[in-house]
């Protein structure tokens, strides 16, 4: 683990907008290129080799079981299990049957809370229909919540249909807003922000209503938002977007999606922590190298020292390498 940002930065900071071919805002030309790429995705998926490659990825999906130690003020949340699903990219090689399989595995873990970190679809709103059967398999007692990702906002900022579909299927959308949830008499604030590159994230609105010193979990599709969240007392930020690089060579990702190199796993600043999931789906090609898909399953644990503990990983194939060994390790 490494410190996420320099200590000298103050609470007045705002996250800088990512820039670049892969990380900045889409122009209409880039949007059309992305649409063309998605069309190629769908064509490849019809070929036997494309389907074979995708099934190899799906078979490598791991459930990353993570113990999340709690700071003293939040120890009443001990025992909550949280499933975090992000970057499904339904429609980009991921069909309805694939999604049912993924959601069934998550349901078998019996999480108390299910969170979606954005990029549920790839480029077309009708890809939402692929999620219907899978969502019906989930019924966590604390509910299901989601934030949008850049792909969910592919054709613009109107999330009307996206939100309506999710709400109809039991998923509440936390786009620049929060809700108070209670576990065994202890409340915590769950909130989410709009996507950093395609939307208009506003942490002030997301935190509006949070009680003084109330434990806080933030959903942000783009991990760079941790730069701002950590300065505002957010205990845990959950993000995706990076796919863990999707292709890693000698432990490093040639393509970067984060200004701060928040690529996968844990990052920490003071008592604030960020977990970046590698996500479930893929874009461009059905290939992952040294970045297997994952669904993190967090268990909140009361203990003296508030630092994430060793992960255990359960998958259908050989597990990926440990992302964290001890709280003080440099990554």
Single out the residue of 226, 206, 313 nearest to residue 276, CA to CA. Answer: 226
Where are the chain's structural domains?
28-313
Single out the residue of 207, 172, 294 nearest to residue 242, CA to CA. Answer: 294
Q: Which residues of 107-143 are buried (b: 16+ CB within 10 A; e: fewer)?
A: beeebbbbbbbbbbbbbbbebbebbeebbeebebebb
* pLDDT exceeds cutoff 50 at 274: yes
Which value, to the nearest 10 degrees, does the dihedral of the CA atoms of residues 155, 159, 162, 168 take? -170
- Is 2 or 278 the better-scoring residue by pLDDT? 278
Which value, to the nearest 10 degrees, does the dihedral of the CA atoms of residues 152, 172, 240, 195 take? 50
Q: Does domain 28-313 have CATH number 3.60.21.10?
A: yes
- Return the minimum-mean-pLDDT range out of 1-10, 111-120, 215-224, 262-271: 1-10
Q: Which pLDDT value is given to residue 317?
A: 30
- DSSP H stretches of helix in the chain: 28-45, 48-59, 96-108, 132-136, 160-168, 203-207, 226-229
- Return the minimum-mean-pLDDT range out of 133-142, 244-253, 260-269: 244-253
Which residue in this structure is represented by tokens 């939307």? 199
Q: Is 222 exposed, middle or buried (0-12, 13-18, 19+ CB in 10 A)?
A: buried
Rounded to whole angstroms, the Cα distance separating 79 from 48 reads: 44
pLDDT, tens digit, 9 for 90 and up, residues 64-119: 999 998 888 888 999 999 999 999 999 999 999 999 999 999 999 999 999 999 99
The contacts of residue 237 (CB under 8 Å, 6+ apart) are: 217, 218, 219, 220, 223, 225, 226, 229, 230, 272, 273, 274, 275
Q: Which pLDDT value is given to residue 70?
A: 87
pLDDT, tens digit, 9 for 90 and up, residues 185-230: 999 999 999 999 999 999 999 999 999 889 999 999 999 999 999 9
Single out the residue of 55, 236, 86 nearest to residue 149, CA to CA. Answer: 86
* pLDDT exceeds cutoff 50 at 150: yes
pLDDT grade for 12, boundaries at 50, 70 and 90: low
Rounded to whole angstroms, the Cα distance separating 283 from 73 reads: 40
Rounded to whole angstroms, the Cα distance separating 52 from 37 reads: 19
Is the Cβ–Cβ distance between 222 and 196 less than 8 Å?
Answer: yes
| Mean pLDDT of the chain, nearest integer | 86
* pLDDT exceeds cutoff 70 at 307: no
Q: pLDDT above 70 covers what percent of the chain?
A: 87
pLDDT, tens digit, 9 for 90 and up, residues 284-304: 889 999 999 999 999 999 875
Which value, to the nearest 10 degrees, does the dihedral of the CA atoms of residues 280, 98, 137, 189 take? 10
Q: Which pLDDT value is given to residue 9?
A: 42
Q: What is the mean pLDDT of residues 244-255?
A: 84
Tokens representing 127 are 């890809």
Rounded to whole angstroms, the Cα distance separating 287 from 250 reads: 16
- Is 51 or 144 the better-scoring residue by pLDDT? 144
Tokens representing 76 are 């009443």
């Amino acid at each position: 683990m490494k410190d996420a940002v320099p200590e000298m930065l103050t609470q007045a900071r705002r996250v800088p907008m990512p820039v670049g071919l892969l990380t900045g805002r889409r122009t209409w030309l880039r949007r059309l290129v992305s649409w063309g790429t998605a069309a190629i995705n769908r064509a490849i998926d019809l070929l036997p080799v494309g389907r074979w490659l995708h099934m190899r990825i799906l078979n490598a999906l791991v459930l990353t079981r993570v113990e999340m130690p709690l700071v003293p003020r939040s120890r009443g949340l001990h025992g909550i299990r949280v499933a975090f699903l992000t970057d499904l990219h339904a429609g980009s090689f991921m069909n309805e049957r694939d999604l049912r399989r993924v959601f069934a595995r998550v349901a078998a873990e019996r999480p108390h809370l299910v969170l979606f970190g954005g990029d549920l679809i790839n480029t077309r709103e009708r890809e939402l229909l692929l999620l219907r059967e899978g969502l019906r398999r989930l019924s966590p007692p604390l509910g299901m919540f989601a934030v949008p990702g850049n792909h969910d906002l592919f054709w613009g900022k109107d999330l009307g249909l996206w939100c309506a579909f999710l709400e109809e299927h039991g998923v509440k959308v936390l786009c620049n807003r929060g809700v108070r949830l209670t576990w065994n008499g202890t409340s915590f604030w769950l909130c989410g922000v709009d996507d950093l590159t395609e939307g208009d994230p506003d942490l002030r609105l997301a935190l509006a209503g949070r009680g003084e010193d109330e434990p806080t979990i933030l959903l942000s599709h783009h991990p760079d938002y941790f730069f701002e969240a950590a300065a505002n007392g957010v205990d845990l930020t959950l993000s995706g977007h990076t796919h863990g690089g999707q292709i890693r060579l000698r432990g490093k990702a040639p393509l970067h999606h984060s200004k701060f190199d928040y690529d996968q796993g844990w990052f920490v600043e003071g008592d604030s922590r960020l977990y970046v999931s590698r996500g479930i789906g893929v874009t461009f090609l059905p290939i992952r190298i040294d970045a297997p898909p994952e669904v993190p399953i967090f268990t909140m644990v009361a203990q003296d020292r508030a630092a994430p503990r060793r992960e255990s990983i359960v998958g259908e194939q050989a597990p990926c390498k440990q992302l964290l060994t001890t709280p003080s390790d440099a990554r």
